[in-house]
Amino acid sequence: MKRSRLILLTGSVAATALVAAIAAPTATARVRTQEEKPFVSASSPIAAGEYLMILGSCHDCHTAGWTEKKGNVPKADQLAGNPVGYYGPWGTVYGKNLRQIADRQSEDHWVEVMRTADGGDGKLPMPWHNAAKFSEKDMRAMYQYTKSLGPNPVRLPRGTKPGVKPTVGQYFDLTVKDSTNK
């Protein structure tokens, strides 16, 4: 009696394994849609966007003084761009005034730029390669938070072409130096 039960059990385990083996390829071949990517859940898209802009380090480059003041920058001054430039092989770029961008550009355009700039004319040090991986829901939440702050027409210095250093204001030099080449 004992023996036959064991056989029965082994048989059902084998059957389960066979079903799993048949089912597995279909499961892995399934296309992941945007909706299946992780996203931040909060009381509203604006609240999610506020959280994401901090966790995504967006303020570090797009809010003047954010790092120096350890994030204690009033909302009135947030995300209006950073006048400290980033000089590198791409020339000089500035963490853009995202409030003006959100004011002038549509949410769909924002999503499009986030997704495509890495393969286009998006320049470093903006982490375009990471930004493209946000779920669409999170990209839209970040736009909505930025837009909710309203326009703030702070002007930044003009960027420079490759090989040309800035002649105004402050900038980080992000060119790679070789310590052995003194």
Binding stretches for ligand HEC (CB under 6 A): 56-58, 60-62, 86, 93-96, 98, 101, 110, 113, 122-123, 125-127, 131, 142
Residue placing its CB nearer to ligand HEC in the complex, 56 or 151: 56
Say how many Å lie between the first and final Cα of the chain, rounded: 84
- Distance separating alpha carbons of residues 32 and 53, to the nearest angstrom: 25
Residue placing its CB nearer to ligand HEC in the complex, 94 or 171: 94
Residue placing its CB nearer to ligand HEC in the complex, 4 or 175: 175
Least distance in Å: CB of 65 to ligand HEC?
14
Exposed, middle or buried, 29 (CB in 10 Å: 0-12/13-18/19+)? exposed
Least distance in Å: CB of 16 to ligand HEC?
44
Residue 96 near residue 62, CB atoms below 8 Å: yes
Least distance in Å: CB of 12 to ligand HEC?
50
- Distance separating alpha carbons of residues 124 and 17, to the nearest angstrom: 49
